[in-house]
Amino acid sequence: MSTIPHSLIREFPEPEITLAEWTRTMKRSVLREMLAVVSRPGILSFAGGLPDPKLFPVKEFAEAVSQVLASDAKALQYGPPFLPLKRHIVALMAQRGVICSEDQVFITTGAQQALNVLTHLFLNDGGQVLIEELVYSGIQQAIAPFNPDILTVTTDLQQGMDVDKVEVHLLAGSRPSFLYAISEAHNPLGVTLSRDRKQQLVALARQYGLPIIEDDPYGLLRYESSAASPMRALDEEWVFYVGSFSKILAPALRLGWIVAPEFLVSKLTVIKESSDLETSAFIQRSVSAYLDAGHLPAHLDRLRQTYRLRRDTMLEAMAREFPPSARWTRPTGGMFIWVELPGHVDTAQLLWPAVEELQVAFIPGTAFEATAGSNRTDAGHRAKNCLRLNFSNCSPDTIEEGIGRLGTLLHKYC
């Protein structure tokens, strides 16, 4: 049976030049490399986590950019965080049920930088972190230089992170530097943390003095009316909220934010300065001008409507085309559906026949297993029989076609 080519999973060769110790355990970004290979023309891809570029508000953004360039040369200068943008973020947070002030908003170069900066704020070399067994790989990349001791918990596909297991770690005496949670429309699992579990987690954070990094890039892409606010709405001392414009405007803006206690903002500033001095003034002012013009609500409505239809199209096609032994999540927002196949199936081995023979791509579940750092967890290959599907970047027709092809393959192997 064909498998993923070895070049996609091999380690870096040992260099002659002396590098920092932690780079010895550095893995290639299997996810990125897979994405590069499966993004060939002609491949019908459910692999990436991309918003649909056809939905980018190009015209409105171009107007905002021209206006900024015409009116303010400071847009191209070094400069402090742009206060009017912070005001817009405060208003966006209020839409998520979070009350905060401009002084608590820290602008970053994307959510990924926010994770990096917060990791530097909390984590010592060899320190403990608590993450889910299956999780966004960017958090693993952010913590890897610290050679962390990674504690993991499982995730319930209906209610989110298994909070009882968090408590088990804490009761056993573990004192992680932070816990990382994607509370809404999880990447890759598609699940949203239930209201009860959010409350339980916040209670544990207070009891044990455990900072929570709440990563919420999909919070404004919600396709059902009923939803709970993020954990930051329940606690402003222990919850460090991370937001992003990548999924609601465009990833290339590289613009995100942290909501943190005001007294820590100066420390965050110093940490961030060491990596990029500051987030582009030009981008901050351009996004702020776009928001001033009042375009965002209609744009968000359009995104939600379009992605909701694509999610529903994918779910219906899966129900029709996939074998009865397959199970999957029904996300209330975001961009991903998580699929579990019978235990004997290895989705990494299915990827190549899918790409080569049927020209359809997905990401095998093992790409999301928590494995970074020196102390590998005992998660094993929990996700060997799983895969992640993205529904935001294909038209409904393409989704029907691609799920049909995938169904043919799964019937052969399940």
Ligand X SMILES: Cc1ncc(COP(=O)(O)O)c(C=O)c1O
The binding site for ligand X (CB under 6 A) comprises 49, 110-112, 136, 138, 182, 187, 215, 217, 244, 246, 251, 256
- Residue nearer to ligand X on the CB measure, 256 or 407: 256
CB of 259 to ligand X, least distance (A): 15
For residue 279, the minimal CB distance to ligand X (Å) is 11
Whole-number Å distance between alpha carbons of 142 and 119:
7
Nearer to ligand X, 141 or 170 (CB): 141
Nearer to ligand X, 116 or 326 (CB): 116
CB 256 within 8 A of CB 109: yes
Give me the helix-helix angle, 163-171 and 195-208, nearest 10°. Answer: 20
Q: How far is the CB of 277 from ligand X (least distance, A)?
A: 18
DSSP state of 45: E
Distances (CA, A) of 38 to 1, 8, 9, 45, 349: 18, 11, 14, 7, 14
Q: What is the CA radius of gyration of the chain?
A: 21
Among the listed residues 277, 170, 300, 140, the one whose alpha carbon sits nearest the alpha carbon of residue 223: 300
Nearer to ligand X, 110 or 364 (CB): 110
The two tokens of residue 233 are 């709405």
CB nearer ligand X, residue 133 or residue 215 = 215
User: CA-CA distance, 46 to 393, in Å (whole number)?
Assistant: 8
Q: Where are the alpha helices (DSSP H) in 280-374?
A: 281-292, 296-321, 347-358
State which residue, 97 or 138, has the beta carbon closest to ligand X.
Answer: 138
Structure tokens at 323: 């074998």
Smallest separation, CB 106 to ligand X (Å): 14
Q: Identify which of residues 245 and 322 has a Cβ nearer to ligand X in the complex.
A: 245
Residue with the CB atom nearest ligand X in the bound state: 110
Q: Where do we find the tokens 């918003």?
A: 51
CB atoms within 10 A of CB 32: 13
